[in-house]
Amino acid sequence: MSTSGLKAIAPVPTAADFLDIVLSKTQRKTPTVIHKNFKISRIRNFYMRKVKFCQDCFDEKLGAILTEFPMLDDLHPFLSSLMNVLYDKNHYKLALGQLRTARHLIDHVAKDYCRLLKFGDSLYRCKQLKKAALGRMATIMRRQKDPLAYLEQVRQHISRLPAIDPNTRTLLVCGYPNVGKSSFINKVTRADVDVQPYAFTTKSLFVGHLDYKYLRWQVIDTPGILDHPLEEMNTIEMQSITAMAHLKSAILYFMDLSEQCGYTVEAQCKLFHSIKPLFATKPTVLVLNKIDVMKLEELHPDNRALVQEIIDTEGVICVQTSCATEEGVMDLKNKACDALLAHRVDLKMKGSKITSVANRIHVAQPKPRDDVVRAPCIPDAVKNRKKFDKDDPDRPRLLRDEELEQGGAGVYNINIKRDYLLANPEWKFDIMPEFMDGKNVADFVDPDIADKLEALEREEERLEAEGFYANEEEMFDSDDEREALEMVDRVGHKNAAQMGKKGTKNQARLPRTAGLRTITELTEQLTKAGYDPSRIQERAEMLAKIQGAKSKRKRDDDDDEDVDMESADDEDGFEDEDMDVDAGAKKVKKVKTNSGRAVPKRITAAREGQMSGLRDERQLNKTRELHKFAQRPRNALAKAGEADRKIQTKMPRHLFAGKRKGGKTDRR
């Protein structure tokens, strides 16, 4: 578990906020109406429910706090020691223990008072017992004021800690204050550690990340350490000691040979020997920093002997760097990463897991196919190839160089003619005129263009003389044009060409010859097929007579109606002009009213279509009313637009919905 897993802890409320949250929730989530006339069992249950609900809320909130804050014994040794250094392990455990005790006390209070409420003999006594129970719970929580405040401070500090993974590849930078540790971190990672010319600028652990050999590495910058006993070190120094003791990392011990940090070379060497037991089994790199001011060769012989003693120690790698000029910085990073990788591989090779893995690995050895010796061959052109150097005057000239000389990006225009493949390279940049001697040059690209044009004109004259164009059917530029014109002929619609397939989408799927076949053609086809069509002919003649009789009767009825209407108009004073009927009107009838006066009534084709399936006018009116009623919700929604002002709810729902009664609790 890394420190990033500790940052999801929820805020810890103060004791007063804790009480407000729990008591308000108890009031909102439980019924609030009770009467003395209720049965005593109902009154008891009413108040017992409030006590139990309040106890459950306290238990839930305190349980969440105790669960989210980690147990120090369950953490990685580095994280456990770091929290002990920063927050004092005893104080931390005591705060969590007090909250755990408070939760148990609240549970006991709730159980005791629920037992007393079972024997309450009146509304007043039950109410007082409930009041006493909630009061004792509140008193217990008020006593937890200090533990809650302490845990909130711990939570805020944990959230500001860097995300340190104790199990990943790590480079740990340590040494005296102001020797250049933070400057190195800023050079090799994207971390932004404050760098100042005074001691103890870095007061906590800082983490940066870098990539090496396609792996992610974390680099930890530790605060400076002074050479004094462990029990005398302060919290800032103990963070560095904790990291060196518990993290599986490569140790980068920085030394300032120029003594600009304020500490002598002798003191820095003593500090190395005093803290060396912390990283005796880890790869160690001695970094001699600030060589731009003082190099190892320039040191006093006594100091150089002390430094040489550290360099000669087994397993110590020495690198000289300068963060100001960046000399040796990348070399230091590479050597430290390689040393740590080799150390991790050695540990795995010495472990017990390697035996089970090695049994499953088969290393293939290539065998020669014959006795011929084939030595590796590297072409001379590759050997003699020089590395590109922009300051070399003999280097190949690039297009980018031309671009910069001719104005840069946005001004320079590449010359395409340089890539032309012509018989003579000198022709590449020749200018081709469009007109020469008053004539178009393109006309003379083909030397036989005049003969071809004359032959084409003669062929056209011959085809026209033979009548080829006069007898030819109409020509179309495309199939779409031909189909559109065919549709115009078939449908007879002036916009059929634009209709396309959409216009014929809903047409009936009939055979193309269905409208052209007559009874005579049908009888002839059936006779040829060997069938007797006499019965079909008789039936067709009979249907034709019936249809003719119906048509004659209908025409006679229409004539009689017209005569009746004219006479009625003359009697009632109606004029023909007043009886204007819409284009869709079919009939005009006279309806007798209670007064005996005849009133004209228009029945249109549209109205008859609405009456289909209905018994009378009453049913039609009822249908219209039901249709309007069904449209109301839709019309109401249609009134609101995007620009309409919308006022959001300003209060939570429970404050609008009222209180629950003593009955069901699944809804308000």
Q: pLDDT tens digits for 605-637? A: 456 566 677 888 888 888 888 888 887 776 666
Q: How far apart are CA 117 and CA 98, in angstroms?
A: 28
Q: Is the model more confident about 226 or about 423?
A: 423
Q: What is the pLDDT of residue 117?
A: 93
Round to whole Å and give the CA distance between 239 and 230. 12
Positive/negative CA dihedral, 70, 76, 79, 80: positive
Long-range contacts of 110-113 (CB under 8 A, 24+ apart): 110/51, 110/52, 110/54, 110/55, 110/137, 113/51
Q: Supply the pLDDT for residue 496.
A: 47
Q: Residue 227: helix, strand or coil by DSSP?
A: coil
Q: Residue 347's pLDDT band (boundaries 50, 70, 90)?
A: confident
Residue 354 has pLDDT above 60, yes or no: yes
Nearest to 240 by CA among 285, 204, 284, 190: 204
Q: How confident is the model at residue 103 (pLDDT cuts 50, 70, 90)?
A: very high
Helix (H) or strand (E) holding 210: strand 206-212
Q: What is the pLDDT of residues 160-204, one digit of tens each?
A: 777 888 888 889 888 888 888 888 888 888 877 766 655 556 667
More confident residue, 443 or 83: 83
Place 562 in a pLDDT band, splitting at 50, 70 and 90: low
Residue 582 reports pLDDT greater than 70: no
How many C-beta neighbours within 10 Å does residue 256 have? 24
The set of residues, in sequence order, having a beta carbon less than 8 Å from that of 165 and lying 6+ positions away, is 2, 4, 218
Rg of the Cα trace of the chain? 51
- pLDDT tens sequence across 628-667: 888 777 666 665 555 655 555 566 666 556 555 666 655 5
- CA dist 312 and 637 (Å) reads 87
H or E element, residue 602: strand 598-604
pLDDT of residue 248: 84
Task: Give the pairing type, strands 206-212 and 215-221.
Answer: antiparallel
Q: Is the pTM of this model over 0.85?
A: no
**Residue with the larger pLDDT of the pair 268 and 571:** 268
Residue 362 structure tokens: 């088969």
Q: How many residues comprise the chain?
A: 668
Answer yes or no: is pLDDT of 504 > 70: no
Give the number of other Cβ atoms within 10 Å of residue 180's Cβ. 23
Lookup: tokens for 603: 């029945």
Angle value at C-alpha 523, between 518 and 526, nearest 5 degrees: 125
Could you identify the residue written with the tokens 């040059």? Answer: 441
Cβ partners under 8 Å of residue 604, min gap 6: 581, 582, 584, 585, 586
pLDDT at 55: 94
Question: pLDDT-based confidence at 596, cuts 50/70/90?
Answer: very low
Q: Region of 495 please: left (phi>0), alpha (psi -120 to 50) or beta.
A: alpha
* Cα–Cα dist 483/357, whole Å: 75
Q: Of 553 and 44, which is predicted with more confidence?
A: 44
Asked whether residue 98 carries a pLDDT value surpassing 70, the answer given is yes
pLDDT over 70 at 270, yes or no: yes
Secondary structure E strands in 213-367: 215-221, 250-256, 284-289, 316-320
Is the dihedral angle over the CA atoms 519, 524, 527, 529 positive or is it negative?
A: negative
Give the model's pLDDT for residue 490. Answer: 66
Q: Which region among 109-113, 203-207, 390-394 has the lowest average model confidence (pLDDT)?
A: 203-207
CA distance 562 to 560: 5
Residue 400 has pLDDT above 70, yes or no: yes
Q: What is the mean pLDDT of the chain?
A: 78
End-to-end CA distance of the chain: 45
Mean pLDDT confidence for 111-122: 92
* Helix ranges, 369-424 (H): 380-383, 399-405
Question: What pLDDT is recorded for position 35?
Answer: 86
| The pLDDT value given to residue 569 | 47
Where is 557: in which H helix or E strand? helix 534-572
Task: Name the token pair of 433.
Answer: 């005129």
pLDDT above 70 covers what percent of the chain? 76
Residues 435-450 pLDDT 10s: 877 888 777 777 787 8
Query: For 583-592, how does the pLDDT look when each residue is reduced to its tens digit (9 = 90+)?
Result: 333 444 444 4
The pLDDT value given to residue 491: 60
Q: Element (H or E) spanning 471, and its range?
A: helix 468-471
Q: Rounded mean pLDDT of 23-42? A: 89
The whole-angstrom separation of Cα 42 and Cα 361 is 76
Residue 602 in this model has a pLDDT that exceeds 50 = no
Three-state DSSP at 257 gives: coil
Check pLDDT > 60 for residue 253: yes
Q: How far, in Å, CA of 147 to CA of 14, rounded?
A: 9
Report, in this order, helix, strand and coil percent for the chain, each rounded to 5: 55, 10, 40
Rounded Cα–Cα distance for residues 31 and 661 (Å): 5
Distance CA 606, CA 597 (A): 27
Distance (Å, whole) CA 625 – CA 619: 10
Alpha carbon distance 278, 108 (integer Å): 49
